[in-house]
Amino acid sequence: MNKFKLIATFAVILICGGVASYFYFQDTSPPVKVAVKAPPQPKIEVPKPQEPQKPQIVEPVPVQTPLPKLAESDSFILDALTELVSNKKLMKLFETEKIIRNIVATVDNLTRNKLPSRLLPINQPGGKFITTGGEETLAISSRNAARYAPYMKLIEVIDTKKLIEIYTRLYPLFQETYQELGYPNKYFNDRLLEVIDDLLDVPDVNEPVKLVQPNVFYLYADPDLEELSIGQRILIRIGNKNAEKIKSKLTEFKKELALHMHDKKIS
């Protein structure tokens, strides 16, 4: 396991995408890698794919204030997050630059093997990754889960319905970013749902989780766990209780998001 500059995503996208993803790196290791309803908001025209698709479309919610350009969206996003979180201490957890770009890139990488720390939209947790035992008894310490308390608090204070409102309002910017990332014929919301499903599918593990340290980095002693996606490995790393809180929020987020989606055939 590599050093993690502390996750799912924009609060729950951050949580989704993200709060879970930010828990993986250690502080001593080198860095590693919705469609809804807005006041008339111009829809992003997506180029026709080569093959027919049936993506889930999110309709932007009506808004009085026009959306900013993507390159100028950070202050807009921070204002929205401040209103959502209403806690100055928790707001210090967020990075303040390239927020949407980092959220989209983080979400897209969560089902892969690595997540580059430079892409994370949340600051690293305090202290160092805590283990117990040595050699054959090396494992994640039960005390390690406490390092993520501020991030768990962030999950608790976020109102899922309000989070969905923000996500749907800003969806055109998420979609624009996703297209620029190299997916001109796909939808970010589809990718987000894939990632959420992957995180919810993380296997149950018995604690303490055994580790090995063949060099600088810690690895799971169970090779099957090491082969899981980076998002699933993160959820295992932060402890069962924290993982259950994140999975519960992701389930709630997914159900609420479904109320804002509809199918759209592209021929």
Residues in the chain, how many? 267
Closest CA to 17 of 263, 196, 240, 202: 196
Query: pLDDT digits over 127-138, tens only?
Result: 889 999 988 899
Question: Is residue 208 one of the residues assigned to a domain?
Answer: yes
Question: Is residue 255 one of the residues assigned to a domain?
Answer: yes
Cα 205 to the chain's mean position, in Å? 21
Contact 56, 34 (CB under 8 A): no
* pLDDT: which is higher, 176 or 43: 176
Contact 22, 7 (CB under 8 A): yes
| The two three-digit tokens of residue 27, written as one number | 């502080």
Spatial distance between the Cα atoms of 100 and 14, rounded to a whole number of angstroms: 10
Contact 164, 135 (CB under 8 A): no
The pLDDT assigned to 234 comes to: 94
Query: pLDDT digits over 79-95, tens only?
Result: 998 988 988 888 888 88
The pLDDT assigned to 198 comes to: 98
Question: Is residue 6 one of the residues assigned to a domain?
Answer: no
Structural domain tally of the chain? 1
Contact 249, 14 (CB under 8 A): no
Question: Is residue 4 one of the residues assigned to a domain?
Answer: no
Single pTM value for the model: 0.76
Tell me the H-state helices in the chain. Answer: 11-16, 74-85, 88-91, 99-109, 149-157, 160-180, 188-200, 223-226, 230-237, 240-258
Spatial distance between the Cα atoms of 165 and 162, rounded to a whole number of angstroms: 5
**Mean pLDDT over the full length of the chain:** 80
* pLDDT: which is higher, 174 or 265: 174
Question: Is residue 2 one of the residues assigned to a domain?
Answer: no
Query: pLDDT digits over 153-166, tens only?
Result: 999 999 999 999 99
The pLDDT assigned to 55 comes to: 57
Spatial distance between the Cα atoms of 126 and 151, rounded to a whole number of angstroms: 11
Whether the per-residue pLDDT at 265 is higher than 90: the answer is: no
* pLDDT: which is higher, 242 or 28: 242
Domain that residue 52 falls in: 11-263
Question: Is residue 5 one of the residues assigned to a domain?
Answer: no
Question: Is residue 3 one of the residues assigned to a domain?
Answer: no
| The two three-digit tokens of residue 106, written as one number | 């983080």
Question: Which residues are within 8 A (CB) of 161 and not within 5 positions of it... i.e. 6 or more apart?
Answer: 256
Cα 253 to the chain's mean position, in Å? 12
Helix (H, G, I), strand (E, B) or coil at 122: strand
Whether the per-residue pLDDT at 112 is higher than 90: the answer is: yes
